Amino acid sequence: MDFLKSAVASAIAKGSSFPYSLGDRVDIADSIWTLHNATKREDGSACSIFTFEIASNKSRLPLAKNAVRKSRTLRHPGVLKVLDTIETETTIYIVTERVVPLSWHVKRRSISEETAKWGLYTVASTLKFINGDAASVHGAIRASSVFTSESGEWKLGGFDILSSMNDDQAVIYTYGSLVPDAARYTPPEIVKGGWDAVKRHPLTAVDSYGLAILVYEVFNGNFTGGDQVGRTTNIPPSMHQSYKRLGTANPKLRLNAAHFVEQGKKTGGFFETPLIRLTDDIDSLGLKSEAEREEFLK
């Protein structure tokens, strides 16, 4: 960290063309990245910068480079918005909208049930897109891969091993175990058969298991290991059945994110909340008739 500060200070002192000013470091768990609040020099606008020091973490360089590639191409409202990426001989930077780690709120147990459901709905809907439309596996769904924007929205990041299943040489097969704290979050089939096991099971299986862990973390404040997956402590009763199916040990029987959303949106379901209805209505406002828009605004 001191190396980063001195390197940046030195570059600025020499009239560096680096277009951002780094501010306070933001604590971020389970990550190969260091996160800073920052501002764009040109206009003073707020942003966040994820930095990766190559010299001190060479073995994980393929993960950092993969995260840069994926963050440039993956576009979805529920994905962390990337403003810029910069690569030098010593450091990789990913510049995003201003965010804070969701894990801050999780550890403080400061998330209301209504907000938790709204956030989980966003993440599950984003996973539905990644697994379905993008035919990809995120591979590291957990609280430390989710961030909250200045407007309070949950944004999915942590793309270090996000891989297209159309790519036979995907990063996830070779480097999946290099994700920090991977062992604590790894599904049983991966523990048993390695990351190549992804090829032998439903594309959605690994991320479904991660989503179950995220549900547990959000409602309990932490996650210590696989024996907690499926426990319903502090999880809303209406979510129990679907949640347990997300994290079942047999990957072929796991509920996928799309079906989790579908079950939650059924009449009386756990995603049928005023906040989720409101945001869905706002998102679809452009599709409504003039009379429907007037009714909504009233």
Query: Does 151 fall in a domain?
Result: yes
Shared-domain flag, residues 15 and 158 = no
CB 18: neighbour CB atoms within 10 A?
Answer: 14
Do the domain assignments include residue 287? no
Yes or no: say if 153 and 97 are a contact pair by the CB < 8 Å rule.
Answer: no
Average pLDDT over residues 148-168: 95
Q: pLDDT band at 232, cuts 50/70/90?
A: very high
DSSP-H helix ranges across 53-204: 61-73, 102-108, 113-131, 171-175, 182-185, 188-193
Residues 208 and 268 reside in one and the same domain: yes
- Same domain? For 5 and 125 the reply is no
Q: What percent of the chain has pLDDT over 90?
A: 84
The per-residue pLDDT for range 124-144, each reduced to its tens digit, is 999 999 999 999 999 999 999
CATH number at residue 138: 1.10.510.10
Q: Are residues 163 and 263 in the same domain?
A: yes
How many structural domains does the chain have? 2
| Residue 132 structural domain | 100-277
Residues 48, 96: contact at Cβ < 8 Å?
A: yes
Please, are residues 81 and 6 in contact by the beta-carbon 8 Å criterion?
A: no
User: Is 114 inside a domain boundary?
Assistant: yes
67 with 118, same domain? no
Q: Clarify whether residues 111 and 224 are in a common domain.
A: yes
Residue 107 has pLDDT above 50, yes or no: yes
d(Cα 283, Cα 102) in Å, to the nearest integer? 23
C-beta of residue 33 within 8 angstroms of C-beta of residue 71 = no
Closest to 127 in 3D by CA, of 60, 203, 198, 42: 203
Give pLDDT tens digits for 246-289. Answer: 999 999 999 999 999 999 999 999 999 998 988 886 765 555 45
Of the candidate ranges 22-26, 27-31, 225-229, the one whose mean pLDDT is the lowest: 27-31
Q: How far apart are CA 38 and CA 20, in angstroms?
A: 7
Question: Where does the pLDDT of residue 29 fall: very low under 50, low under 70, confident under 90, or very high at 90 and above?
Answer: confident
Going by C-alpha positions, the residue among 97, 110, 117 that lies closest to residue 214 is 117
Do 74 and 174 sit in the same domain of this protein?
A: no
Which of 94, 84, 92, 88 has the alpha carbon at shortest distance from 42? Answer: 84
